């Protein structure tokens, strides 16, 4: 298959497997989604979903969170890992939203990326899932699968994102990035497949015999 043919097949197959692609992080609005995505760095979504109810019971909007002592936030989010850094980011970004944005999460990718603890991927998720703005957030899992599936040779997630945006229609991006994550967890995980074992990899590359060496982001 040519690269575009692979992309077309992948899109159709993921749509068949995952016609619904709910956001795996529990949230109620853009702010709680932003905090949940921030906490998900180097942490599973399942663990984040266990932590956020307690955190949001304490404060679920910027004005309230800005007043919570950072030590208290840290104690709540400790199971998510990187707690000191994440707690400081949560409190500081809450202060910024309160003071500079009337307590609202800005619907602007560039502004989101300036918030403490918010990188391009986190900002892209919020733009896509909270505001419906077309975005293609790429984490290490999507980067790995895109390499295995021959969609990119990117050496970083930015290049992988750009390549995927070129291959897939814009209207599919917000759903597709979740579908790829779901497929990776179920069939093509880091340990469960090396580019030669899962149904997608075997279909796309039936003659492939050697494991795929992924360019680490």
Average pLDDT over residues 153-158: 89
Average pLDDT over residues 4-8: 97
- pLDDT reported for residue 125: 97
- pLDDT reported for residue 56: 98
Answer yes or no: pTM beyond 0.85.
Answer: yes
- pLDDT reported for residue 67: 97
Which is higher by pLDDT, 9 or 217?
A: 9
Give buried/exposed letters for 118-152 (b at 16+ CB in 10 A, else e).
bebbbbbbbbbbbbeeebbbbbebbbbbbbbbbbb
Tokens 């015999």 -> residue: 209
* Token reading at 93: 């970004």
How many whole angstroms separate alpha carbon 138 and alpha carbon 125?
A: 9
CA torsion sign, 81 to 84 to 88 to 94? positive
Q: Is the pLDDT of residue 64 over 90?
A: yes
* Short-list 20, 11, 21, 53, CA closest to 181: 21
Q: Is the pLDDT of residue 216 over 90?
A: no
- pLDDT reported for residue 154: 86
Residue 1 — pLDDT band, cuts 50, 70, 90? Answer: confident
- For residue 208, count CB atoms less than 10 angstroms from its CB and return exposed for 0-12, middle for 13-18, buried for 19 or more: middle
Please say if 45 is a catalytic residue: no
Domains defined along the chain, listed by start: 3-21+136-204 (1.10.1670.10), 30-129 (1.10.340.30)
How many whole angstroms separate alpha carbon 189 and alpha carbon 199?
A: 12
Secondary element (H or E) of residue 22: none
Residue 160 — pLDDT band, cuts 50, 70, 90? Answer: very high
Catalytic residue among 121, 163, 202, 213, which? 121
Asked whether the beta carbons of 95 and 89 are under 8 A apart, the reply is no
Catalytic residue among 50, 78, 88, 139, which? 139
Please say if 29 is a catalytic residue: no
Q: How does pLDDT run across 31-50, given as a tens digit for each residue?
A: 999 999 999 999 999 999 99
């Amino acid at each position: 298959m040519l690269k575009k043919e692979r992309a077309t097949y992948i899109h159709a197959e993921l749509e068949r497997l995952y016609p619904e692609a709910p956001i795996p992080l529990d949230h109620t609005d853009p702010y709680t989604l932003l905090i949940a995505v921030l906490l998900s760095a180097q942490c599973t979504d399942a663990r984040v979903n266990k932590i956020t109810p307690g955190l949001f019971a304490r404060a679920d909007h910027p004005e309230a969170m800005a007043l919570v002592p950072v030590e208290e936030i840290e104690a709540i989010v400790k199971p998510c890992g990187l707690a000191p850094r994440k707690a400081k980011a949560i409190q500081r970004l809450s202060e910024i939203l309160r003071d500079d944005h009337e307590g609202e999460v800005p619907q602007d990718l560039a502004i989101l990326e300036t918030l403490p603890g918010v990188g391009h991927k986190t900002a892209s998720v919020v733009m896509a899932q909270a505001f419906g703005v077309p975005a293609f957030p790429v984490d290490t899992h999507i980067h790995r699968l895109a390499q295995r599936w021959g969609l990119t040779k990117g050496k970083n997630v930015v290049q992988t994102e750009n390549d995927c945006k070129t291959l897939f229609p814009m209207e599919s991006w917000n759903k597709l990035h979740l579908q790829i994550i779901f497929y990776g967890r179920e069939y093509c995980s880091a340990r469960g497949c090396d580019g030669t074992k899962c149904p997608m990899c075997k279909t796309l590359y039936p003659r492939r015999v050697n494991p795929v060496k992924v360019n680490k982001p």
